[in-house]
Amino acid sequence: MTDSPLLVEQADVVVVGARCAGSATAATLARAGRRVIALDSARFPSDTLSTHLLWPAGVAELSRLGALDAVAELGAPRLTHAYAAGASFAIASGFPQVEGIDYTLCVRRTGLDHAVLRTARAAGAEIRERCRVTELVWDGGRCAGVRYTDPDDRLVEIRAALVVGADGRRSTVAELVGAQSPYAAEPSGRDCYFAYWRDTSTDWRDTAAQWREGSDLGTAFPCDDGLLLSLVQPPAESGRRRPGEAERRYAAALDRIPPLRARLRGCEQVGRVRSATDLVSYFRRSGGPGWALPGDAGHFKDPVTAQGIRDALHYGRLLAEAVAPVLDDPARLDRAVAGWERRRVRECREIYHWTNRLARGTEMSPLEVELYRAAADDQELAAITTGIFARTRRPAELYTPARMARLTAGALWHHRGDPAPVLADVAHEIGATARELHTSCTLLRGTPPPVPPSSPGTATA
């Protein structure tokens, strides 16, 4: 670092991280007339480790942000059909409509993030790339800005009413405010491996497909540039990762899911297999005096339900809408951030529990098999199931007492020679539901615990 004097600037908001959550926050604030500076360590276009399916609600967020045209130009096909198969049953449905959008998109992050970032810049946000935040600035117990090194290795300080940490699961801002340790967490029972394939199919280019075989789960999502994203989530394995582990486990999982192998027949793999292991879904404390954590920095769900990008865009936008009118009043600003955080917890806790169930890494239970059996012939049941992923329906709508009774009765009939597995499954589901309810009423009751106002070593005003 050079010996040049510290440069000090002023902004209304500084956003750390300029991908989906950060750019959604920055664009919305800029349109509200606020001076916002977004910093990112990357130079865009830039890739990031991500499975990037956008349900209709996520596509609608792109539309609200004004980024949908730019994203559509990337050429990802509109996926208008949902297909899920397991235990020899298949659920097929269309997608629910959200603000006139009834399709899903799968867009690689290099193009998606750049399109969203350009939208934020066009809205008036100042985007600074290749800038790495190293410290937070504190005024007493209040976060008052950041210090970062720019591409020329100069130290720069930005003072702001609010610091937004939109910098992902390994968030620097979360660490510096003392919020890195989650107050609610659930380790995944699955590892995640994915690769891109040159797609030769014409029949499946409009379909987002998922298969479950044994304890394995696999997907095929057509995406931009004529490619296909194929992901597998086998049961998690512990221990040290050996060279070539990702390729080995990916290929082995594909072999255990014959319908997915058939979908990929004639397709050519493009690039290497990527992996995400040791996954943990969590809620972190996401707001405090002068700071907030949208996106994965504050809340993360296993990729099995593909919720991350939608939530990053949605809650980034909602944060900006909540704070834009009150940035000049610290007390009102803190109340706005706290209200935004409570809203996210309240709205996400059901899908958090639903995601954790699908991430168990176990074989389909008798009740799950019965659900697939029933939904294969019941379009309303299929629509509810797809709607849960799309965030237009709630898991509670699927597991009503009456429906659970019908599923249990059906499972007992099909296991009438040996009802013990069904009864064990029912007992397990009752216990899981009770634990989820307890978590929602205690850890996720909407008032997250406080964190220390600052961490050792951060700058003080």
Report domain extents, the chain. Answer: 7-186+282-355+452-460, 191-278, 363-441
> Tens of pLDDT along 91-109?
999 999 999 999 999 999 9
Q: How far is CA 192 from CA 229, 251, 296, 394, in A?
A: 13, 12, 17, 25
According to the model, what pLDDT value does residue 456 have? 44
According to the model, what pLDDT value does residue 424 have? 94
DSSP state of 265: T
Q: Architecture of domain 191-278 in CATH?
A: 2-Layer Sandwich (3.30)
According to the model, what pLDDT value does residue 459 have? 66
Q: In the numeric block, which tokens belong to residue 419?
A: 């009802």
Task: Answer whether 425's CB lies under 8 Å from 366's CB.
Answer: yes
According to the model, what pLDDT value does residue 1 have? 47
According to the model, what pLDDT value does residue 243 have? 84
* Strands 207-213 and 81-86, sheet pairing: parallel
In our burial notation (b when 16+ CB lie closer than 10 A, e otherwise), range 31-45 reads bbebbbbbbbbbebe
Residue 47 makes CB contacts below 8 A (sequence gap 6+) with 108, 109, 110
Q: Name the stretches of the chain with pLDDT < 70.
A: 1-4, 452-461
Neighbours of 268 (CB within 10 A): 10
Read off the pTM: 0.94
According to the model, what pLDDT value does residue 130 have? 98
CATH number for the region 7-186+282-355+452-460 comes to 3.50.50.60
